[in-house]
Amino acid sequence: MNGPPRIHVLPSTPVDRPRLHATFFLFLAGFLYVAAGLAYRQLIQSNELMEQSDNQSRRVILRPPARGRIYDRNGYPLVDNRARWSVKADLAALQKEFRGEYLRLLAAEKARNAVSIDREKLLEDARLRVLQGWLNNVWFVIDETNRHPKSKPTTKLAPVNAPNERQVNLDELRRHLRERRALPFTLINDLAFPGTSQAVTSEEGAKSIARFVEQFPVAGPIRLEQDIVRTYPYGPLAAHVLGYVKDTDVLPDNVDDISEVRIESLQKLRYTGKTGAAGIELSYDHVLSGRSGWELWSKTSAGYNQTRLKYSEPAQGGHVMLSLDHRIQKQTEDSLAKLKDGRGALLPAAAVMLDIQTGEILSLVSQPSFDPNRLADRVTSKYYDQIESEGGWLNRATQGLYAPGSTFKLLTATAGMRKKVVDWDDILECGAFFRVGNRDFPEHEPVGYGEVDLDKMLAISCNVWNYQVGIKTGIEGLAAEARLFGLDSPLLSVTGDTENRGQEMTELPYAASRGLVVPDRAYKKRIGDGAWTDGDTANLSIGQGYLLTTPLHMACLAASIARGETRTVPSIIHSRERTGRHIGAQPIGLSTAQLAALRGGMVRCVEEGTARIAQIPGLPFAGKTGTSEYPKNGKKAHLAWMIGYAPADNPVVAFAVLVEGQTENNIFGGKTAGPIAKEMLLAWAATAAPPDEAKPKPDR
């Protein structure tokens, strides 16, 4: 046999050399590919892969910062933080005990010859029993000396005897293990706070802490952790302004920059923090919420924390100083709280007082209200529902939309003078009613008032004067006047300081911005009520009909008249830099005599008119009352209004009071709202001449 030699791989299977070479190269290529891939991963990708495995064995825990405080204009803290002491169990340190208890339970099950053993259930039982045992120990240390200082300690509390709140909550434990296994489990939430089930008085609360601190072993799985909760030292005071906070799992990510926090693949756990849910707490959340702290931990294979590698403390948020004066606020709230309906329930009401020059709001009350302390931590659905049913969520001073009633007559008068249909010294004949078309519009005095000028009109609140002037002025004139004084523009909105990144925001959330109505022909057509009639104009001239505004708008109106301008821009934030210039404000455009008559009428209203009841000896002030009608539960009910400013000759503050009447009782502007205004002004007068009391410093 000639030719190329053949290689025998197996007996009788000759192989071609070329084919062998081809196979060899194929394998070589494959091997090179694998080797190259391996080298690539080992040499080039190694850093990246290492990082990945690192990230799987590490986690970041974000800790919530303390929120900033909210002060009143004098530096009294209206919203503060207090320490909360919680007893927590370190689950990682308890692993051994869990395991031991589990094995014991398992042995017991086996001894019982149980048919099927649910190991998951056993493990859960074991955890529960261990934690309950520790919780019993905690209470044992706290209680035994609490109750029997002299008796010898007896045996441990049996879990069955423990009342409900002293039981470890199985559902909470399950959720905790599922969602935040690495964080300590809370056994007792708020050890020292009086009012919770744990402590009755603050002294007892302090005692509980002291007992735990001094008697419980320092080293061990049970720790006393202390964090902070929001507290509102004055309770429900200014609750609508301050708002409240709610739990959030989304902590501000604006931590001190560390690269670890930014890594997407790194597991992040967050303690529950707080975020604003209403009021200033919500609108100034960006200021109040601080910078989260973080901890970088390595973790065990079971998912518990192992070692803390790096950390940074959280930083407290900024403080906010409100323009409110807590003394005026308190007095106003107390006065309004005296208003009750036939069944003893609080009448819904609102009151506003503001500084005429700066527009800073000194007091802003809405009734009924709520206690933000009870919403700060765990809200019971019962309390939530109670506020809901009372209508306590609505901030009536900034969100409540009402017909302003006779207080609008101020604008009818200015509109009339501006359109020159009436002057300050014109005397109009005012009978018992005024006929418009084929309808008689009544005076509230059955025999009429006879000869009435501007001054007298404001004092006695004559309707017929306004019908006449209103119809002569026309709807366009009245609507333009209302717009000139800003009744259609939203208040409390500010644009862009650096803190809110130049975005438009309202100082108080949900302040009325839509809903405000200054009616005109187009409006009536738009809502499909047909064509505008003179009757509508007559109605509008006394502040009834379609017109809807808020108490804050009316207070601003009073301030504008007092200052002789057309606009007042209110603010709830205190600032020393306010110049008294108001955006959009123009001179009121009336002659000195006209303005004097307008203001004189308001003073006369208090001195001898509808607001007599509110007179304050030694403090003459200007006012205008109003009683308007609104439908409630299908029936007509009254709204009592009073707006004004004080003192009469050198105005400093302006105010508005509104009370919603119920159907079964009769309320009137002067009679109901007058005394409230009087007490507000007295409170203001008391603060204007402050006694020698030491004021707390705003911050240290």
Partner 1 sequence: MEANRQGARASYVALAIFVAIWILLPSAVRRFTREAFVEFQAPALHLVGKSRDLATFWEKKSRSVEEMAAAGRDLARVNAALELKLSAYEDVRRENVRLREIARYNVPPEYLSVIARVATRDSSSWWQRIVIRKGRNDGIRPGAPVVFGNIVVGRVTTVHLTTSEVDLVTSPGFRCTAYLEGDEQNRIVLVHGVASNSLGTAKARVSVIPRDYSMPAGQPARVLTTGMGGVFPSRLTLGNLDGMTYATQVGNFSESLLVPSRDLYNLQEVSVLVPLLQNPGEALMQGDQFQ
Partner 2 sequence: MTMGWAWLILLLATYPWLLGADLASDALASSSLVFFVSGACLIAPSRRLKRWQMILFAGCLGFLFEARRPIPDGALALSLVAAAIFLSTQRQHLRNTPGMLRAAALVNVGACLIWFFAAAYVAPVPMGDIVAQLMRQLLLAGVVGTVCLLPIALTQNAAMDRLGVPPAAEKP
Interaction site with partner 2 (CB under 8 A): 218-219, 308
SS3 content of the chain, % helix, strand, coil (to 5): 40, 20, 40
Give the residue with the Cβ less far from partner 1, 308 or 526: 308
Smallest Cα–Cα separation from 67: which of 196, 242, 239, 185? Answer: 242
Using rule CB under 8 A, residue 233 touches partner 1:
no
Tell me which of partner 1, partner 2, none is bound by residue 252, counting a contact when its beta carbon lies within the kind-specific cut-off of 5 to 8 angstroms: none
Give the residue with the Cβ less far from partner 1, 145 or 663: 145
Q: Are 385 and 693 within 8 A, CB to CB? A: no
Max alpha carbon distance in the chain (Å)?
148
Using rule CB under 8 A, residue 695 touches partner 1:
no
The residue assigned the tokens 């071609």 is: 16
How close are the terminal C-alpha atoms of the chain, in Å? 109
The alpha carbon of residue 339 and the mean position of all alpha carbons in its chain are separated, in whole angstroms, by 25
From CA 156, how far away is CA 162, in angstroms rounded?
Answer: 11
Give the residue with the Cβ less far from partner 1, 81 or 358: 81
Angle at 33 between CA 31 and CA 38, to 5 degrees: 95
Smallest Cα–Cα separation from 275: which of 265, 267, 283? Answer: 283
Using rule CB under 8 A, residue 306 touches partner 1:
no
The least CB distance from residue 224 to partner 2, in Å, is: 13
Among residues 140, 510, 523, 546, the one that binds partner 1 under rule CB under 8 A: 140
Give the residue with the Cβ less far from partner 2, 160 or 219: 219
Using rule CB under 8 A, residue 293 touches partner 1:
yes
Using rule CB under 8 A, residue 225 touches partner 1:
no
Torsion angle in degrees (nearest 10) through CA of 174, 175, 178, 181: -90
Smallest Cα–Cα separation from 566: which of 580, 549, 584, 541? Answer: 584
Using rule CB under 8 A, residue 210 touches partner 1:
yes
The least CB distance from residue 192 to partner 2, in Å, is: 23
Residues present in the chain in total: 700
**Hey, how many other C-beta atoms are within 10 angstroms of the C-beta on 193?**
19
**DSSP secondary-structure letter at 153?**
P
Using rule CB under 8 A, residue 578 touches partner 1:
no
The least CB distance from residue 118 to partner 2, in Å, is: 36
The least CB distance from residue 572 to partner 1, in Å, is: 23
Tell me which of partner 1, partner 2, none is bound by residue 314, counting a contact when its beta carbon lies within the kind-specific cut-off of 5 to 8 angstroms: partner 1
Give the residue with the Cβ less far from partner 2, 219 or 447: 219
Among residues 213, 309, 522, 527, the one that binds partner 1 under rule CB under 8 A: 213
Using rule CB under 8 A, residue 696 touches partner 1:
yes
Print the binding letters for residues 236-275 with partner 1: x by CB under 8 A, - otherwise. ----------------------------------------
**Residue 533 in tokens:** 């009639």
User: Quick one: angle between helices 409-418 and 592-607, nearest 10?
Assistant: 160
The least CB distance from residue 22 to partner 1, in Å, is: 54
Using rule CB under 8 A, residue 314 touches partner 1:
yes
The least CB distance from residue 97 to partner 2, in Å, is: 17
From CA 566, how far away is CA 556, in angstroms rounded?
Answer: 9
The least CB distance from residue 306 to partner 2, in Å, is: 13
Using rule CB under 8 A, residue 307 touches partner 1:
no
**Residue 94 exposure: Cα atoms within 13 Å on the Cβ side:** 25
Give the residue with the Cβ less far from partner 1, 74 or 145: 145
Using rule CB under 8 A, residue 90 touches partner 1:
no
Give the residue with the Cβ less far from partner 1, 112 or 700: 700
Handedness of CA 242, 243, 247, 253 (dihedral sign): negative
Give the residues across from 450 on adjacent strands. 430
Angle at 690 between CA 684 and CA 691, to 5 degrees: 135
- Applying CB under 8 A, the residues found at the interface with partner 1 are 65-67, 80-83, 137, 140-141, 144-145, 149-153, 206-207, 209-211, 213-220, 226-228, 290, 293, 313-316, 696, 700
